[in-house]
Homo-oligomer: A and B are copies of this chain.
Amino acid sequence: MPKRDKPASPPMLRAKLWVEVDGEPALTEDGADLLDQIHATGSLSEAARRLRFSYRRAWLLVDAMNRRWDPPLVTTATGGERGGGSVLTPRGQRVLASYRDLQIQLEYLLGQAGDPFKIT
């Protein structure tokens, strides 16, 4: 084996949580961030702007999520005062809250682990 570089920082635990439906991603970190921003702004384009996603990317992400959940997570209003606005459905709010709750539990688990790779 060739020489190794000296590590300059301690090993860091990382984890990623997502939801699949039929083996396809149904809620990812990016998706959850987008739902958060839709909830905060009521607008898909504003949500996309805040996350520096292209509008196309944000739209496709919402579309992919909506296709995998029944009922869907986001509805887009057409016409009326807020024509074009997007809102989370009650289902979308619950799914997002469950995901965030699990993320917190996961972070807690990793935090509890401390530095399991420490040389003792």
Contacts and interface: CB of A to CB of B under 8 A. Distances in A.
A22 B4 CA distance: 13
Interface of A: 1-2, 4-22, 26-27, 62-63, 66-72, 74-76, 91, 94-95, 98-99, 101-102, 105-106, 109-110, 113, 116-117, 119
Given A17-B13, A67-B5, A95 B117 contact: yes
Given A11-B68, A102-B109, A109-B109, 12 more contacts: A1-B63, A1-B74, A1-B76, A4-B69, A6-B70, A7-B68, A11-B69, A12-B19, A12-B21, A15-B17, A98-B117, A106-B106
A45 to B, nearest CB: 15
Given A106-B109, A109-B106, A14 B4 contact: no
